[in-house]
């Protein structure tokens, strides 16, 4: 693990009217590290992501990028720093092909016309290097499976050569095999030395790829675990805030429920 | 490099359904039959249904009346579709955004009336007058666009107000004297009463095919240099052959009467020009993207409002050009200019030609093909000495069929997109 975090947040607070969404939250991500951000609904995960992405800047708190303090006031600031966000609803245009989606808003132009050849070549190289398998870069994304679409969305976020990639519930709507595909892709991002922030409800996914887990509860940090050092129970306990909770009660009831790993599904 | 690429791209996802054809590793673009099969399933039919429909319509009318497929009738058909076809090109642009413009008929009438008042009553030179009118109407579209994007009123309502309001302005501009005639020898009349000489008709055809061939070859060369999968040589030959035969037949038929009408050249010029803008520029790509997914386009950093406003401007400008062509054809502009079924036919043509009402799918060729279908029905009905009653019913049925096809293929796309 690299010694210094590429992105670190501390003392982040955010209030929406009467609701205190975040209180003194903190987290950090290092290059080549997958940090899972988990928490129950309303724990403040999305708010923290929006703070980092510049969609909803924090009221108070400090963000450090590569050790120096920065302010992220709008999405563009985050992009310029090198933070890419892949939203849950994918943000792909179904009617456009893979190349067009990858380069949307950022097309290569030659003599005033789109340089399809340069874009197709770069798209192939990019998807190739990520081992993303799709029938052809010229099919409309509507014709792709959920996992392939998610892969395209993640690949697109890499075109700006970011250092940190945030993935909001990347496996939420996917089947088992497609989830595995996306998890493989997340590992490849880590191998490239990117910092990855993974928001997920699915503790099985978190367990599979995360190096570290940051737990939020009611807008506050409720624990931080290094994967492999924490048990599933400890993480669930941090998420729910009690060792005695609906999840443990259920597990106690169901004999041999050690395999039940999904929360909130 | 190239083989490695095509391996990956041609490779199949392990989880995809058995029997699903793998992407073609050799060409990168799906060739022939396979592509048709995939398009059928995924609902990417493009212009094929309307092309087949047009062939059927022609065969039916020809079997009912042998005068239908004569050079004279086809030449007249080409002239008849030019004006509404130009309006329809603008409608296609708006439909691609997933919006609608109901004011194009009124705007075309206003354009004709304004041009007549400027040139005939006030002595403004014809060319200058046309420029002014197209600009004014472009601004009208920009006003529509501003209200739609900045105030957030649905385009349906804004342009419905435009439909009524601009027609009122048209009557106001004309004043008590309802109709203004254009001089027979003037530039405005010349636009739709001119045919290319036989030689220049052939020349234009040859240049068109040669330009297409050159573009394809250049593309192949660059693809090879970039190590990308190439189109099959058969596909290249087939495409060029198809265009060459189509152009040759069209020129031969039109030359057998009075030569290629200038109005048709103008219409096809707009169709091809806007098609290139749509498919080959960032602007065109943005229009498709907004029609496909507005939120994604916004997140990708596109200036969604500006693009929408500009498209409404273009649609109204094209409506003006159509209105001028229509006025030129009848040597006059009057209270009835742009009225009747101009609006309905322009929208119907775009949809019959395969432009989706749901946005993001279609091309300007839809305007041309759709107008050919509508024009053929009209012309065939006239030859059979049937009246407006039958014509409207049949045109309505064809439009309904086109919309049903659009909805079905959308459903197909959804099903295959969900997988």
Verify whether the Cβ–Cβ distance A89 to B226 is below 8 Å. Answer: no
Q: Per-residue DSSP letters for B106-128?
A: HHHHHHHHHHHIIIIIT---HHH
Q: Which of B260, B280, B303 is the last residue of a domain?
A: B260
- pLDDT, average across residues B351-361: 90
Q: Which of B245, B260, B275 is the last residue of a domain?
A: B260
Q: E-assigned strands of B179-266?
A: 180-181
Model confidence at B171, pLDDT cuts 50, 70, 90, reads: very high
The predicted-structure confidence for A7-35, as pLDDT tens digits, reads as follows 999 999 999 888 888 999 999 999 999 99
Is the minimum CB–CB distance between B228 and chain A shorter than 8 Å? Answer: yes
Report the C-alpha gap between A198 and A209 in whole angstroms: 9
Given a cut of 50, whether residue B25 has pLDDT beyond it is no
Given a cut of 60, whether residue B2 has pLDDT beyond it is no
- Of the CA atoms within 13 Å of residue B338, those in its CB half-sphere come to 35
B-chain residue closest to A86, CA distance: B299
- How far is CA A84 from each of CA A50, A149, B260, rounded to the nearest angstrom? 12, 17, 55
Which is higher by pLDDT, B40 or B114?
B114
Which is higher by pLDDT, B188 or B45?
B188
Answer left, alpha or beta for residue B177, where phi above 0 means left and psi between -120 and 50 means alpha. Answer: beta
Q: Is the Cβ–Cβ distance between A215 and A39 less than 8 Å? A: yes
Residue B228: its pLDDT value, please? 86
- pLDDT, average across residues A234-241: 84
B36 within some domain: no
Model confidence at B199, pLDDT cuts 50, 70, 90, reads: very high
Report the C-alpha gap between B51 and B280 in whole angstroms: 24
A-chain residue closest to B4, CA distance: A128
Whether residues B338 and B351 share a domain: the answer is yes
Verify whether the Cβ–Cβ distance A91 to B226 is below 8 Å. Answer: no
A-chain residue closest to B222, CA distance: A117
Number of structural domains, chain B?
Answer: 2
The mean-pLDDT minimum among A121-135, B230-244, B326-340, B402-416 falls in B402-416
Model confidence at B145, pLDDT cuts 50, 70, 90, reads: very high
The predicted-structure confidence for B229-270, as pLDDT tens digits, reads as follows 887 888 889 999 999 999 999 999 999 999 999 999 999 999
Report the C-alpha gap between B337 and B323 in whole angstroms: 8
Model confidence at B72, pLDDT cuts 50, 70, 90, reads: very high
Model confidence at B44, pLDDT cuts 50, 70, 90, reads: low
Model confidence at B12, pLDDT cuts 50, 70, 90, reads: very low
- pLDDT, average across residues B260-281: 96
Whether residues B226 and B103 share a domain: the answer is no
- pLDDT, average across residues A159-165: 90
Whether residues B200 and B295 share a domain: the answer is no
What topology does CATH give the domain A1-82+162-230? Answer: Rossmann fold (3.40.50)
B381 within some domain: yes
Is the minimum CB–CB distance between B281 and chain A shorter than 8 Å? Answer: yes
B-chain residue closest to A131, CA distance: B8
Of the candidates A169, A184, A163, A202, the one whose C-alpha atom is nearest the C-alpha of residue A88 is: A169
What is the pTM (predicted TM-score) of this model?
Answer: 0.84
Report the C-alpha gap between A142 and A92 in whole angstroms: 9
Range of the domain at B207: 196-260
A-chain residue closest to B228, CA distance: A121
Q: Tell me the domain boundaries of chain A.
A: 1-82+162-230, 94-155
- Contacts with A, B 35-54, CB within 8 Å: 38, 42, 44
Whether residues B227 and B279 share a domain: the answer is no
Verify whether the Cβ–Cβ distance B9 to A135 is below 8 Å. Answer: yes
Whether residues B135 and B243 share a domain: the answer is no
Of B9, B14, B299, the CB nearest to A136: B9
Whether residues B296 and B175 share a domain: the answer is yes
Given a cut of 80, whether residue A253 has pLDDT beyond it is no
- pLDDT, average across residues B326-339: 92
Looking up residue B399, the CATH number of its domain turns out to be 1.10.3470
Whether residues B244 and B393 share a domain: the answer is no
B4 within some domain: no
What does the mean pLDDT of chain A come to? Answer: 86
Which is higher by pLDDT, B32 or B163?
B163
Q: Is the Cβ–Cβ distance between B31 and B24 less than 8 Å? A: yes
Model confidence at A256, pLDDT cuts 50, 70, 90, reads: low
Model confidence at B47, pLDDT cuts 50, 70, 90, reads: confident
Verify whether the Cβ–Cβ distance A138 to B42 is below 8 Å. Answer: no
* Chain A residues whose beta carbon lies within 8 Å of the beta carbon of residue B410: none
* Chain A residues whose beta carbon lies within 8 Å of the beta carbon of residue B360: 93-96
Whether residues B267 and B256 share a domain: the answer is no
Question: Using the 8-state DSSP alphabet, how is residue B29 labeled?
Answer: S
A-chain residue closest to B301, CA distance: A105
Report the C-alpha gap between A109 and B155 in whole angstroms: 32
Whether residues B181 and B204 share a domain: the answer is no
Of B4, B228, B288, the CB nearest to A128: B4
Given a cut of 50, whether residue B419 has pLDDT beyond it is no
Query: What is the residue whose two structure tokens read 């670190």?
Result: A8
B25 within some domain: no
- pLDDT, average across residues A215-232: 86
* Chain B residues whose beta carbon lies within 8 Å of the beta carbon of residue A98: none
- pLDDT, average across residues B120-136: 96
Residue A222: its pLDDT value, please? 87
Of the candidates A96, A208, A202, A92, the one whose C-alpha atom is nearest the C-alpha of residue A146 is: A92
Whether residues B317 and B186 share a domain: the answer is yes
Whether residues B226 and B305 share a domain: the answer is no
Q: Per-residue DSSP letters for chain A?
A: --SS-SEEEEEEEEEETTEEEEEEEEEEE-TT-EEEEEE-TTSSHHHHHHHHHTSS--SEEEEEETTEEE---SHHHHHHHTEEEE-TT----TTSBHHHHHTTTS--EETTEE-HHHHHHHHHHHHHHTT---S-TTSBGGGS-HHHHHHHHHHHHHTT--SEEEEESTTTT--HHHHHHHHHHHHHHHHTT-EEEEE-S-HHHHHHH-SEEEEEETTEEEEEEETTTS-HHHHHHHHHT-SSSHHHHHHHHSTTGGG------
Verify whether the Cβ–Cβ distance A133 to B13 is below 8 Å. Answer: yes
Q: How many CB atoms lie within 10 A of CB B178?
A: 13
The residues pairing with A221 across neighbouring beta strands, listed in sequence order, are A216
Model confidence at A119, pLDDT cuts 50, 70, 90, reads: very high
Model confidence at B395, pLDDT cuts 50, 70, 90, reads: confident
Q: Which of B234, B260, B286 is the last residue of a domain?
A: B260
Residue B178: its pLDDT value, please? 85
Of B11, B44, B296, the CB nearest to A91: B296
Residue A239: its pLDDT value, please? 86
**DSSP SS3 for B271:** helix
Which is higher by pLDDT, A88 or B290?
B290
Verify whether the Cβ–Cβ distance B300 to A109 is below 8 Å. Answer: no
Q: What percent of chain B clears pLDDT 70, i.e. is strictly above it?
A: 87
What does the mean pLDDT of chain B come to? Answer: 87
Most confident of B8-22, B64-78, B395-409: B64-78
- pLDDT, average across residues B196-220: 94
Residues with Cβ within 8 Å of residue B206, at least 6 apart in sequence:
none
Of B9, B296, B299, the CB nearest to A134: B9
Residue A263: its pLDDT value, please? 46
Residue A90: its pLDDT value, please? 66
A–B interface: beta-carbon pairs under 8 A: 139
* Chain A residues whose beta carbon lies within 8 Å of the beta carbon of residue B412: none
Residue A54: its pLDDT value, please? 87
Q: What percent of chain A clears pLDDT 70, i.e. is strictly above it?
A: 91
Residue B415: its pLDDT value, please? 64
Whether residues B280 and B203 share a domain: the answer is no
Which is higher by pLDDT, B28 or B74?
B74
- pLDDT, average across residues B14-34: 40
């Amino acid at each position: 693990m690299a010694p210094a975090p590429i992105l670190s947040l501390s003392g982040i607070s955010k209030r929406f009217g009467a609701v205190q969404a975040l209180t003194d939250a903190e987290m950090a991500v290092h290059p080549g590290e997958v940090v899972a951000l988990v928490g129950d609904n309303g724990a403040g995960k999305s708010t923290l992501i929006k703070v980092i992405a510049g969609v909803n800047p924090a009221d108070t708190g400090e963000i450090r990028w590569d050790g120096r303090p920065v302010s992220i006031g709008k999405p563009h600031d985050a992009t310029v720093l090198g933070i890419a966000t892949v939203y849950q609803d994918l943000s792909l245009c179904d009617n456009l092909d893979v190349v067009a989606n990858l380069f949307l808003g950022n097309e290569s132009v030659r003599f005033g016309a789109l340089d399809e050849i340069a874009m197709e070549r770069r798209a192939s190289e990019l998807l190739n290097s990520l081992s993303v398998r799709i029938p052809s870069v010229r099919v409309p994304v509507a014709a792709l499976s959920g996992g392939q679409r998610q892969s395209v969305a993640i690949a697109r976020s890499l075109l700006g050569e970011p250092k940190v990639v945030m993935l909001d519930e990347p496996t939420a709507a996917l089947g088992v095999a497609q989830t595995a595909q996306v998890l493989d892709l997340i590992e490849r991002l880590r191998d490239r030395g990117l910092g990855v922030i993974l928001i997920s409800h699915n503790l099985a996914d978190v367990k599979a790829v995360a190096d570290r887990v940051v737990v939020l509860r009611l807008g506050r940090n409720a624990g931080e675990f290094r994967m492999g050092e924490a048990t599933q129970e400890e993480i669930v306990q941090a998420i729910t805030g009690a060792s005695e909770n609906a999840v443990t009660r259920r597990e106690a009831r169901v004999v041999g429920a050690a395999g039940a790993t999904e929360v909130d599904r | 490099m190239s083989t490695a690429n095509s391996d990956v791209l041609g490779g199949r996802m392990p989880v995809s359904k058995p029997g699903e054809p793998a992407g073609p590793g050799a060409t990168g673009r799906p060739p022939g039959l396979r592509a048709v099969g995939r398009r059928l399933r995924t609902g990417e039919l493009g212009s094929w249904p309307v092309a087949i429909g047009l062939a059927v319509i022609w065969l039916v009318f020809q079997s009912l009346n042998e005068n239908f497929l004569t050079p004279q009738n086809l030449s007249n058909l080409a002239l008849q579709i030019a004006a509404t076809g130009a309006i329809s090109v603008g409608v296609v642009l708006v439909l691609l955004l997933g919006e609608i413009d109901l004011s194009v008929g009124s705007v075309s009438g206003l354009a004709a009336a304004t041009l007549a008042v400027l040139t005939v009553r006030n002595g403004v030179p014809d060319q200058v007058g046309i420029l002014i009118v197209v600009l004014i109407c472009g601004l009208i579209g920009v006003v529509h666009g501003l209200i739609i994007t900045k105030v957030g009123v649905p385009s349906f309502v804004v342009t419905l107000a435009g439909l009524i309001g601009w027609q009122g302005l048209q009557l106001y501009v004309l004043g008590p004297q309802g109709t203004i005639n254009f001089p027979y020898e003037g530039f405005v009349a010349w636009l739709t009463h001119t045919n290319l000489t036989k030689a220049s008709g052939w020349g234009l055809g040859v240049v068109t095919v040669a330009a297409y061939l050159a573009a394809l070859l250049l593309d192949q060369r660059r693809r090879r240099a970039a190590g990308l999968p190439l189109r099959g040589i058969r596909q290249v030959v087939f495409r060029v052959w198809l265009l060459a035969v189509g152009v040759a037949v069209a020129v031969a038929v039109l030359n057998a009467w009075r030569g290629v009408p200038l109005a048709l050249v103008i219409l096809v010029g707009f169709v091809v020009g806007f098609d290139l803008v749509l498919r080959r520029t960032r602007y065109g790509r943005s229009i498709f993207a907004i029609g496909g997914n507005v939120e994604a386009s916004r997140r990708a950093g596109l200036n969604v409002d500006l693009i929408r406003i500009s498209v409404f401007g273009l649609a109204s400008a094209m409506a003006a050009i159509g209105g001028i062509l229509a006025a030129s054809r009848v040597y006059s502009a009057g209270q009835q200019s742009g009225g009747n079924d101009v609006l309905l036919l322009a929208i119907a043509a775009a949809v019959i030609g395969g432009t989706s009402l749901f946005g993001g799918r279609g091309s300007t060729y839809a305007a041309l093909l759709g107008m050919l279908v509508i024009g053929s029905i009209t012309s065939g009905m006239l030859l059979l000495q049937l009246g407006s009653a039958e014509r409207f019913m049949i045109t309505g049925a064809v439009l309904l069929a086109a919309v049903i096809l659009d909805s079905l293929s959308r459903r197909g796309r959804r099903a295959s997109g969900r997988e």
